Amino acid sequence: MKLDTRDNVSVDAVDRPSTPLRRSLGALLGSWEVYLLLLVAALLRLYHINTTEFDGDQADIFYMAHNAVSQGHLVATSNVASIKIFNPPAIIYALMIPAAVSANPVWGSVLTALLAIASVFLTYLLMRRYYGRLAATLASFLYATASVPIFYSRFMWNQNMLLFFVPLLIWFLYRGAVARRTFWLFPSVVLIGLLVQFHASSIVLVVPLLVALVLAPRRTVRWYDFVLSVLGIFFIYAPYIVWLFQTHFQDIFTVLHTAKGETLIDAQALLFYLQFLGPLPAPYTNNLSLLSPYMTAFAWLQPLVVLLVIAGAVLAAVLAVKSRRSEAEVEPRPGFITGIARWWHDLRQSPLRCGLLILLTWQIVPLLYLTRHDIVLHLHYFIMFMPGPFMLVGFFLARAFDWLHARLNSVQVARIVFLTICGLLVCAQFLLSAGYVYDASHGRYVDTTWAGQYYNDLTSLQNVMRQADQLAQQRHLNHVYVSVDQGTRAAFLYLAGQMKTPTTVVDDSCLVLPGIQSGAAILLTAPHSHRLDLVTAYAHASRIATAAHPGGPPFNLYVLRPGSSAGQGQNNSTEELKFMDLKPFNNGQRNVLASRWQMLRSAPAGYRTSYNYTFTNGVAGTGVAPASHACSVSALRSGDQLIVPMGDPAQPPTKMQVTAYTTLPTILSYNFLGAIPLQLDTFRLYDTPKKVLRSQSGLDYIPVTFAKKS
């Protein structure tokens, strides 16, 4: 069975508008490549999707979505962008769909992957509709097997939604400017609004929208399209507009002053664009990779794809610019103005040229815009170009095949060789992407090579929390403590809410241990945690299990049995904490001073809520500046012991000031129409007024004594 490049659904050689698809469903069902395409796209995006990345951003946005569903709230913002503004809430509303089905975050990643698969299929439909079956097959298979788009398809994140909504926008632009149909402007404007919510850089896609608006016939645009567009934008931004008024448009001010240094004009944008055409960059491609010994055999792949994209862009530009009037239709030596007017008229009358101009505008103008930048660029900013490069490649290869078919009609071998080379290109991309997917799902990487913090997959996090829960129930223990660091804090705060056993999440700047009256408990430490030194100094800890953490050291699970709880005098007690002792210990590398406190009140865990204490040292009779040490926990339990590292034991404090406050999420409350109560969640946190804890005798500090290590 062969691919007919002269499919009757494409824009034909004489630039007549493509005819309606009377047999569209039957044509698709009869196309074998569609089934293979969907199989390949699904395999690369859904294979072991339970090992999806689950770090801070992923945990934060799914936590908000789950809370909005469970509490019946609307949402005014999502998480914080890299330029320190609060993102609009579109990603939260999207994730509320899987969150309504299950509290398991894996379904948020499944939604992202399914939309990415739909993006591949949409690419096929778009290319087949306007450029023929062969162009559609080549473009969609190259896109389906490209490593970098696959990487962004396998975890939930705001900008990953662009993979689906950008080609959907292009579909509607083609509907108006190429297919010459109505009902395209309103959905296009709303899609631009959504894209900007997912990532602000998408605002540059207004340019191809304006090009389509200029090229589309007037009959395709109705006056009510503009009214609906305004209403649609207002509807999807209404909660965020409330937030802007509440904050006096601070985010708008920040966006307008995002420069972090001098304006640069460099090739960074082009380099990021080209990265989408090749294998994943380091650290995703590493020495532990399954394909690492064979990477040199694929060195030709990216240069070839780049050359094909350039060839496709050049061909598209030539066809878009060049007028195709016959000699009989051209008047001799028209004036300059007349020539420009005639060229413009011919351009608007040609669906093929209009489509190519939109495609080129989409790929070139944003790239030129980002070439001059005053902010730090990141790879994910360039998701908005997908799948444009592969559409250019598919268009070029299909036209090249047509050229061979017309001039070498009797040389079947040339066409077979051409298709074989195309097949090898797709197969090479598939092998690289399959290798990446296997590496990512089987831990063939080093977790600490990621910038900022180490990498965490959802499966290992869920497994260790489930294991801690089961151990607590099997041993009849009534509490689980989770010591977290920056790499695991957000994830464990969300997953702790799914535990059957009461759980306290503690930042590893300090440690919480059970009091004697509470009995033994389970302690879970993060892979790169260093808090076990405090445990052994104050409690009896026995490691009972480990849990795998792909790419790095394992999680550790301990049974904690509380040690001595002897405290100090009455003057060392406050309404919340009681000072117990201050003593040094050796952590295996150096001597460390730590203070121990007993909690005197209980407070439950809550949505994005933390209870915080700041301990400030004071050394009498010295000029040493006070040092502060902070501790944050997700819940308080009366009788528990709080251990806080204090620094150098050579200068022990003689008094300590303790400040307490609670961090809570900001929730906007309104009465709609004066009768309907509305609550809008936001990502902003606020601190309650800080309270200095006073001793029983009324002092605003706690006198402490230093117990030297025996």
What's the pLDDT band for 18 if we cut at 50, 70, 90? very low
- The amino acid occupying position 158 is N
Better-scored residue on pLDDT, 249 or 195? 195
State the Cα–Cα distance between residues 581 and 57, nearest whole angstrom. 39
pLDDT in tens, 665-702: 999 988 776 667 788 999 999 999 999 988 888 888 88
Task: State the average pLDDT over residues 213-242.
Answer: 93
What's the pLDDT band for 567 if we cut at 50, 70, 90? low
Phi, psi of 673 (to 5 degrees): 60, 25
What's the DSSP call for residue 690?
Answer: P
pLDDT(103) > 80: yes
- Cα 438 to the chain's mean position, in Å? 20
Q: At what angle do helices 489-496 and 458-474 cross, to 10 degrees?
A: 50
State the Cα–Cα distance between residues 68 and 496, nearest whole angstrom. 18
What's the pLDDT band for 462 if we cut at 50, 70, 90? very high
State the pairing for strand pair 577-586/610-618: unpaired
pLDDT(23) > 80: no
State the Cα–Cα distance between residues 515 and 598, nearest whole angstrom. 8
pLDDT(278) > 50: yes
pLDDT in tens, 615-652: 988 754 455 567 788 899 999 999 999 988 887 776 77
**How much of the chain exceeds pLDDT 70, in percent?**
88
Task: State the average pLDDT over residues 257-270.
Answer: 76
State the Cα–Cα distance between residues 455 and 507, nearest whole angstrom. 18
Q: At what angle do helices 301-321 and 412-441 cross, to 10 degrees?
A: 120
Task: State the average pLDDT over residues 93-115.
Answer: 96
State the Cα–Cα distance between residues 168 and 191, nearest whole angstrom. 8
**Residue ranges covered by each domain of the chain:** 24-326+334-441, 468-562, 564-577+590-710
SS3 286: coil
For position 5, what pLDDT does the model report? 43
H-assigned helices in 132-222: 133-144, 147-153, 162-177, 185-198, 206-215
**Cross-strand partners of 555:** 547
H-assigned helices in 263-334: 268-275, 301-321
State the CB neighbour count (10 A cutoff) for residue 321. 13
Least confident piece of the model among 12-26, 61-75, 316-330, 663-677: 12-26
For position 285, what pLDDT does the model report? 66
State the Cα–Cα distance between residues 553 and 572, nearest whole angstrom. 40
pLDDT in tens, 369-428: 999 887 888 899 999 999 999 999 999 999 998 888 777 766 677 778 888 899 999 999
- Cα 506 to the chain's mean position, in Å? 25
State the CB neighbour count (10 A cutoff) for residue 483. 26
For position 19, what pLDDT does the model report? 44
The answer to whether residues 403 and 290 touch, using CB atoms and an 8 Å cutoff, is: no
For position 325, what pLDDT does the model report? 61
| Residue from 14, 325, 22, 388 nearest 173 by CA | 388
For position 540, what pLDDT does the model report? 85
For position 288, what pLDDT does the model report? 82
